Amino acid sequence: MAAVVTENGSEDIDILPSGLAFISSGLKYPGMPNFAPDEPGQIFLIDLNEPNPRVQALNISDGFDKASFNPHGISTFIDEDHTVYLYVVNHPHMKSTVEKFKFEEKQRSLVHLKTIKHELLKSLNDIVVLGPEQFYAMRDHYFTNFFLVLLEIIMDLRWTYVVFYSPGEVKVAAKGFSSANGITVSLDKKYIYAADVTAQNIHVLKKHENWDLTQVKVIHLGTLVDNLTVDPDTGDIWAGCHPNGMKLLIYNPEDPPGSEVLRIRNVLSEKPKISTEYGNNGSVIQGSSVASVYHGKLLIGTVFHKALYCLF
């Protein structure tokens, strides 16, 4: 079974333990196609417990600039009192901020609480929240000028990094990435998994008490790996990937970018098992950026195209 659940992008997905999934949609990103350039971004919600899940757009509280909302990576945090917070990497006017929202489940709405800015929080891509005010974020380019970014990619400068943020301290926690992209955390919270899209690999990083990260290993995938999620049942990594990067940058509707979903089992072993769980030439979904699972159900998101719901 497979069904399309959104249009106009579903760049990142985060699923709560309850089965409610948040989807960021409408990303406008330099060099990437966009089918609705004049529409602001949105956060959608889908309940994976329903037999035929349907998405609904979440209303955002007044006082937040919804017109310039341009959501990228997202991450949830559940507090001790069971309050759900959603953190969103936002690119208003092509800048980078992190927005903190409180999720009101009954009202199906988001209450904006604060905007986080910092000198190190530039050109952000993804985020993983590990405490009420603590998170890691991925800086995917050192430069913000588009032409300098191209030069950075061509020269493979490896100047991008993982940033740790808390109200009392902001620092580079790990560096040396060609283009730091998706990030997530292991089930036991001891390891951070960080994708390097242009290097086509995943860095497994050990998290220390001072929030520094040290490299344990690198898993090479041989494809452009975007966002990462962890299966809540098994701890496996699921990766949304781009089998052909040039088709993303030079978009041709007659020959669209394909989609690829990889699963990495036994992550910490000497030989992790890598398997292809989904592949498509672009006839169904184009530009897969994330794959997230919940008890035998799979959501595949894309940078600018549709999202796909599957049973596996």
Ordered by where they begin, the domains of the chain are 2-311 (2.120.10.30)
pTM confidence score: 0.95
| Two tokens, residue 82 | 């069971």
pLDDT value at residue 35: 82
Which of 202, 233, 286 lies closest to 9 in space, CA to CA? 286
Q: Is 181 annotated as a binding residue?
A: yes
Which of 108, 88, 112 lies closest to 45 in space, CA to CA? 108
pLDDT value at residue 1: 55
Q: Which residues, including other chains, have CB under 8 Å from residue 121's CB and lie 6 or more apart?
A: 96, 97, 98, 137, 139, 163, 165, 170
Q: Is 226 annotated as a binding residue?
A: yes
Which of 280, 277, 293, 196 lies closest to 244 in space, CA to CA? 280
pLDDT value at residue 144: 73
Q: Which residues of the chain have pLDDT under 70?
A: 1-5, 142-143, 146-147, 149, 151-155
pLDDT value at residue 249: 83
Q: Which residues, including other chains, have CB under 8 Å from residue 198's CB and lie 6 or more apart?
A: 153, 156, 178, 179, 224, 245
Q: Report which residue type is found at 44.
A: F
Residues 168 and 13: their CA atoms lie apart, in Å, by 29
Active site residues: 72
Which of 199, 291, 194, 288 lies closest to 248 in space, CA to CA? 288
pLDDT value at residue 6: 75
Q: Is 38 annotated as a binding residue?
A: no
User: Which H helix or E strand runs over 246?
Assistant: helix 245-249
Question: What is the 8-class DSSP label of residue 118?
Answer: -
User: Which H helix or E strand runs over 149?
Assistant: helix 146-155
Question: What is the 8-class DSSP label of residue 236?
Answer: -
pLDDT value at residue 152: 65
pLDDT value at residue 4: 67
Q: Is 12 annotated as a binding residue?
A: yes
Q: Is 74 annotated as a binding residue?
A: yes
Residues 106 and 167: their CA atoms lie apart, in Å, by 30
